[in-house]
Amino acid sequence: MPSVLAARLAAIAKACRNDFRPRCELTAQMRNGIRMILLTGGAGYIGSHIAVALLDSGLDVVAVDNLCNSNRASLDRVQTICGRSLVFRHVDICNEEAIYEILRTHGVTAVIHLAGLKAVGESSTQPMTYYENNVVGTMRLVSAMSRADVKMRIPLDVAQHSEMISPTIPI
Ligand SMILES: NC(=O)c1ccc[n+]([C@@H]2O[C@H](COP(=O)([O-])OP(=O)(O)OC[C@H]3O[C@@H](n4cnc5c(N)ncnc54)[C@H](O)[C@@H]3O)[C@@H](O)[C@H]2O)c1
């Protein structure tokens, strides 16, 4: 019986890997000019899944995260799953100079911005912390991108279940 159970669990795990692994299909037009993607909040729940999709599609990733709500181990697992490496930088998006340096050093051509605090209750009890992190952080990120001449585009539809993000909409 234990071996039957083990076989069933292995089959379920295999099905999960095949069915739920995020896919990222880029048209040649979308891929044009996109090489290195900065993924903010890359160690988080959505970020780590997007990292898998990006690496699987052949793109390069520099993941930035301050690890306030995540663990670097998630990105180690991403690299194991994909059999490819990414760059990880332990940086806060509020640190504009550090973000600017990353954009320039790694030749970033596109950004996917997921870094943020998102606990509903906490956002009510600590509104200024959330404002500083999410609003000011995004403004600093955008400012660094502007200085580094990085076009804000998300040219991919990460999962079949997510909204389609038009390549023509700068986000
Ligand atoms: N999970 C969902 O169902 C869902 C749905 C819609 C939208 N979103 C949004 O997507 C984003 C990511 O969500 P998630 O579920 O992956 O959350 P998450 O908490 O798992 O990931 C967010 C990541 O951002 C990092 N981070 C936070 N502030 C940072 C900062 N100042 N600098 C650098 N890193 C920072 C955290 O450490 C974490 O790893 C959030 O903005 C969230 O509001 C999530």
**Residues 52-62: tens digit of each pLDDT:** 999 998 899 99
Which CATH number belongs to the domain containing residue 71 in this structure?
3.40.50.720
Nearest-atom index, ligand 1, CA of 133 = 31
Phi-psi region of 67 (alpha: psi -120 to 50; beta: other; left: phi over 0): left
Report whether residue 41 contacts ligand 1, using a CB cutoff of 6 Å. Answer: yes
- Domain extent, residue 104, equals 23-147
Count how many domains the chain has. Answer: 1
Contact 91, 99 (CB under 8 A): yes
**pLDDT at res. 156:** 43
Please work out, in degrees rounded to the nearest 5, the angle formed at the alpha carbon of residue 23 by the alpha carbons of 159 and 39: 80
Report whether residue 116 contacts ligand 1, using a CB cutoff of 6 Å. Answer: yes
Report whether residue 51 contacts ligand 1, using a CB cutoff of 6 Å. Answer: no
Establish if 15 belongs to a structural domain.
Answer: no
- What's this model's pTM, rounded to 2 decimal places? 0.81
CA Rg value for the chain: 18
Establish if 93 belongs to a structural domain.
Answer: yes
Establish if 154 belongs to a structural domain.
Answer: no
Establish if 70 belongs to a structural domain.
Answer: yes
Establish if 126 belongs to a structural domain.
Answer: yes
